[in-house]
Amino acid sequence: MVFSEYEVERYARHLVLSEIGGPGQQALKRARVLIVGAGGVGAPAALYLAAAGVGTLGLIDDDVVGLSNLQRQIAFSTPEVGRPKVEAAAERLGGLNPHVTIQTFAERLTPDNAADRIGGFDIVLDGTDDFETRLIVNAACVAAGKPLVSGALGRWSGQVGVFAGRPCYQCLVPEVPPDAETCARVGVVGALAGVVGSMAALETIKLITGAGEALAGRLMLYDGLTATARTVRVTADPQCPVCGG
């Protein structure tokens, strides 16, 4: 895989990194990443993955841009309110990096389409804000043997984890919490979405290039109010209906 002079200049800061270099940048160009949810986490993650030169980005989201999204979903602008998110995001990403192929799916990920959508990609980045969809994404990733990068946020705190086989996300969240909080109900500080989305993109880049140590089987917890972070290990549940046994 040969880079043009234009691409060499574009990715110059990656190419001089010993952990990425030419081979890592080529791996990024070959990679196919599906982003589930083009919202608070997915929007900044998509921007950084496109900027990094990921060859193919898939975007799946059935929502339209809302005025309240603009406080944190930085891929969108005011004139795009009411426009399908995947359509608006694809245009923004194409403007950022024309070398990236964008595939859009203006639909919700469900048990019926999850295997088909996820099967066409190497890595899945989940930025959705409801537990039901997260569990669907996780089950499909485990079944297809695809690494899952998961990012979530609310109020002033966020979390990022990487799940590849066992333990899986359902080991961490066995079932949908009855009192699950959403950003719409409890609020979220806008800049936190950038922090969590960027960390999710960084973990994805590390998985693709083999740089450093990914958060595999671990969860990074970030507290924006105290500016502290800690990492905890996720224990595999032997009775997990998705990856156990």
Q: Residue 39: name the closest of 181, 182, 210 by CA.
A: 182
Pairwise CA distance, residues 1 & 25, whole Å: 10
Query: What tens digit of pLDDT does each residue of 72-124 get?
Result: 999 999 999 999 999 999 999 999 999 999 999 999 999 999 999 999 999 99
Q: Cis peptide before 167, with omega less than 30 degrees from 0? A: yes
pLDDT score at 1: 72
Does the pLDDT at position 210 exceed 80?
yes
Does the pLDDT at position 125 exceed 80?
yes
Query: What tens digit of pLDDT does each residue of 22-57 get?
Result: 999 999 999 999 999 999 999 999 999 999 999 999
Pairwise CA distance, residues 81 & 154, whole Å: 23
pLDDT score at 186: 81
Tokens 């993650």 sit at which residue? 45
pLDDT score at 179: 74
Query: What tens digit of pLDDT does each residue of 148-207 get?
Result: 999 999 899 999 999 999 999 999 999 888 776 666 778 899 999 999 999 999 999 999
pLDDT score at 187: 87
Q: pTM for this structure?
A: 0.95
For the segment 204-232, the average pLDDT, to the nearest whole number, is: 97
Query: What tens digit of pLDDT does each residue of 51-72 get?
Result: 999 999 999 999 999 999 999 9
Cβ atoms of 209 and 27 closer than 8 Å: yes
Beta-strand pair 56-60/101-105: parallel
pLDDT score at 135: 97
Phi, psi for residue 126 in degrees, rounded to 5: -100, 115
Q: How many CA atoms lie within 13 A of 13 on its CB side?
A: 4
pLDDT score at 233: 97
Q: Outline where 84-222 has alpha helix (H).
A: 85-96, 114-119, 131-144, 169-172, 183-186, 190-209
- pLDDT > 90: what percent of the chain? 91
